[in-house]
Every structure is written in C-alpha cells, then in structure tokens.
Amino acid sequence: MTYEENVKPPQRPKWSLTDVIIVLIILLALIPLARIFKGYLAKVITVLMVTGNSPETLALFLGSFLQSLTMALAIVIIARIRGASGRDLGLVWDSPVYNIVLGLLGGVALGVSVWFIGALISTFFGPPPPQDIEKLLTGLKSGKDLFLPFISVSVFAPLSEELYFRGMVYPVIRARLGPLAGMVLSGLFFGALHLDVYRLVPIGFMGFALAYFYERTGSLVTCIVAHSAWNTLMIILLFLVVNR
C-alpha cells in the first residue's frame, strides 16, 4: 500500500451528519453573541492596558479566539463521544516536510487562483464591498500592528475552519456521495458560511481546493498550512494596498 493510499480520509467517519449540524448550530449561535460581547471585551482589555491595539483590532482577535476555541472544543467533544481519534479528524503528522511544503506551495497557488476568480467577477459585476478585515487594515499605521490580525486570520481561523470543514464535514459528504461531490459540496458550504455573496464563488473554490489537498494527503496539516499561507498573503497585500 502506498503512502497516499494509506492516508486518505476515512471512508466512513465515526460521526454523522447530525453531529455536523450540531457544530453548525453552535457556530451560527456564536455570530450574534460575538457582536454582543466583542465591544465590551475590547473595552475591558483596553482599560486594563493589556495592549496598545485599537478596540477594533482587539475585537477581531477576541472574536476569532473565542469562535475558534468553541468550534474546536465542540468538534473534539463530539469526536470523543463517537469514539473517533485525532487521526480520524485528519490530525496526521506522518510526513511533515511533505505536508508543509505542499501546503505552502498550494496556499500561494490558491491565492493567485482566488485573486484571478475575484478579478473576473469584479470585471462583470463591479468591485465587491470591502471586507471587515480590509476596513480594519485601513486604520493600521505600521507593520507591527499586523500581529493580532495575523494571529486571528492566519492561525485561529485556519485551525478551527480546517478542523470543521475538511476534518469533519468533508468526510461525511464523501462517505455518502464520493470524493468529487464531497469536494464540491463541502467547498460550497465553506463559501456560503462566510456569509458574503460577492465572494461565494472564490471562497467556494478555495474550499474545493483545500478538500482536494486533504483527499490527496489525508492530513489536515497540509490544509491548515495552505489556508494559513493564503490568509497571510491576503492580509499583507491588503495592508500594502490600503496603506500605500
């Protein structure tokens, strides 16, 4: 048996579609809760002078941390209840150099592809409204101010989103409909949950590509690194553009 044959995602995951929906409900419930508490928490930290960052930057950091932590805990708890291990969720580290290098190269290629798709859509439908992260980066004055946005967007988001969308969702769809349908549908689901109709297609393509990486390697490490590389590239380019 070859390496790629040995590391494919589980044919029949130990969790079910119901479990996927439970985590989704928790995730959706976090959105209004984050809006309620993020301003309060940012003010508390600002008053305590824990950091000199703006309340908006702190809100992004705190919101990302709490969302990622809650998602990860929900997934881990459900996996443990179902008798699944970290390996079942794709937390495989059998070939770290291969996973990391493929993730970095894939993340850069993915960034170029997503940018191209977005440019085509903008040509026909006009430029989309700015994202929250773009608005935030407009107010940053120096590169050191990118630290908390980087942790939020390039560390917290890839870890929790890959654990859910590729580690949990993709294997469920794959087991029912096969790899190709799993990649397409989980990608569209990934795009739809970003709640941005203007970027549904580019983000959906990104989700498809990340599921493909998981299918080829059987390791979320590749997906996390690729996702992180793309997000990092995005915030650096946005920072340079909006602050030129």
Mean pLDDT of 138-158: 80
- pLDDT tens profile 43-65: 655 554 555 566 667 767 777 88
d(CA 4, CA 122): 38
d(CA 58, CA 50): 10
Mean pLDDT of 196-204: 89
- pLDDT tens profile 97-111: 999 999 999 999 998
pLDDT value of position 22: 95
- pLDDT tens profile 66-120: 888 889 999 999 999 999 999 999 998 888 899 999 999 999 999 899 889 988 8
pLDDT value of position 62: 73
Q: Is the pLDDT of residue 6 over 50?
A: yes
pLDDT value of position 7: 63
Measured from the Cβ of residue 173, the count of other Cβ atoms closer than 10 Å reads 21
Measured from the Cβ of residue 123, the count of other Cβ atoms closer than 10 Å reads 9
d(CA 154, CA 227): 8
What are φ and ψ of residue 94, in 5° steps? Answer: -75, -30
Q: Is the pLDDT of residue 34 over 70?
A: no
pTM of the model: 0.88
Q: Please give the mean pLDDT across all residues of the chain.
A: 84
Mean pLDDT of 126-150: 75
Residue with the bigger pLDDT between 171 and 196: it is 171
pLDDT value of position 192: 93
